[in-house]
Amino acid sequence: MNNIIIIAAMRDYDSAIGYQGNLLYDIKEDLNYFKEITYNNIVIFGSSTYIKLPHKPLIGRDNFVLSRKDIDYGVPKLKNIEEVLALAKNNPDKKVFICGGESVYKSFLDYSHEIYLTIIKTNDTKIADTHFPEIDPQNWKMISVRADEENINHKYPHYFCKYRKK
């Protein structure tokens, strides 16, 4: 299955992605990139990540929550990896984006074909309690990298990287 893709944004020096369920950085260009890449596709969030979204469900995308909890999230719920894999198999014309959090990323590294990763260059010391898993260069190859056009004057310079499984 080549339609499962991880999408995330992380701090460069420690792979930090969040604190108490929130993103560490609010970068408009990264959010626009996320919207552009995921639009008309499927997005899957862990329950804690989905609950913290400011606007949900995300418009123009098929939203799902990955959770074993008996909670109504207002969108369809998938209970395990097998259900996500079945969803991907039954929707070969759509990309299935894995949107976090930390444990969901770890669970799907072996099943994903690509990783779209925004790397945020900063020396700040914001506290973080969640991190993106290590990308093993034996298994993944960076196939593209581009700086955001606004990077030069941005408070948090960032780069859009794309990895493909070897």
Tens-place pLDDT, residues 14-37: 999 999 989 999 999 999 999 999
List phi, psi (to 5°) of 112: -85, 150
**Contact between 7 and 38 (Cβ < 8 Å):** yes
CA-nearest of 165, 41, 37 to 113 is 165
- Overall pTM surpassing 0.85 (yes/no): yes
Question: For residue range 111-156, what is the model confidence (pLDDT) as tens digits?
Answer: 999 999 999 999 999 999 999 999 999 999 999 999 866 666 678 8
Mean pLDDT within 93-115: 98
Q: Which parts of 13-83 are beta strand (E)?
A: 16-19, 22-23, 42-46, 62-66, 77-78
**Could you give the CA distance from residue 16 to residue 103 in angstroms, rounded to a whole number?**
13
Domains, the chain, in order of start with CATH, read: 4-150 (3.40.430.10)
State whether residue 103 is helix, strand or coil.
helix
